[in-house]
């Protein structure tokens, strides 16, 4: 009887980082170095320069309400909210929870208030 070895090779896990602030740069670099497919999404054109996120596979400029039309979200997607904008986070959560990504995590501060953190 012959032995057969089968190895399933999945595509890199997709991670979407919402927000292009200074704190998102090392997160994007680390995610890419561990082999994930990194997409950075932000509403500010200056912060979302290709030079700042050279390690990212894709950079998308769009409003939170347009995310589902511009960013593929699957059951394998891991979403990280780093917008530092409470209202944007709420809008993103509506989209993300409807798309059922594998994991959603984020922190947001509003008007100097303590961070409101969520994790699914």
CATH of the domain at 90: 3.40.50.720
Mean pLDDT of the chain: 83
- Does residue 2 form part of some domain? no
Q: Is the pLDDT of residue 25 over 90?
A: yes
- Does residue 9 form part of some domain? no
HEC string for the chain: CCCCCCCCCCCCCEEEEECCCCCHHHHHHHHHHCCCEEEEEECCCCCCCCCCCCCCCEEEECCHHHHHHHCCCCCCCEEEECCCCHHHHHHHHHHHHHHCCCEEEEEECCCCCCCEEEEC
**What is the tally of structural domains in the chain?**
1
Model confidence, pTM: 0.79
Q: Is the pLDDT of residue 110 over 80?
A: no
- Does residue 50 form part of some domain? yes
- Does residue 7 form part of some domain? no
- Does residue 63 form part of some domain? yes
Q: Work out the pLDDT band at 108, boundaries 50, 70, 90.
A: low
Give per-residue pLDDT as tens, 34-62: 999 999 999 887 666 788 899 999 999 99
Q: Give pLDDT, residue 100.
A: 67
Domain that holds residue 39: 14-114
Give per-residue pLDDT as tens, 62-90: 998 899 899 988 888 999 999 888 888 88
Cβ contacts of 78 within 8 Å, gap of 6 or more = 13, 14, 15, 16, 36, 101, 102, 103, 104
């Amino acid at each position: 009887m012959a032995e057969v070895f089968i190895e399933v090779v999945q595509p890199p896990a997709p991670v979407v980082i919402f927000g292009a602030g200074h704190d998102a740069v090392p997160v994007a670099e680390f995610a890419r170095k561990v082999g994930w497919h990194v997409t950075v999404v932000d509403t500010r054109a200056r912060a979302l320069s290709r030079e700042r996120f050279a390690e990212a596979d894709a950079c998308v400029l769009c409003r939170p309400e347009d995310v589902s039309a511009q960013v593929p979200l699957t059951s394998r997607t891991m979403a990280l909210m780093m917008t530092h904008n409470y209202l944007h986070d709420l809008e993103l959560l509506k989209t993300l929870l409807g798309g059922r990504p594998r994991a959603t995590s984020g922190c947001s501060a509003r008007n100097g208030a303590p961070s409101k953190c969520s994790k699914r």
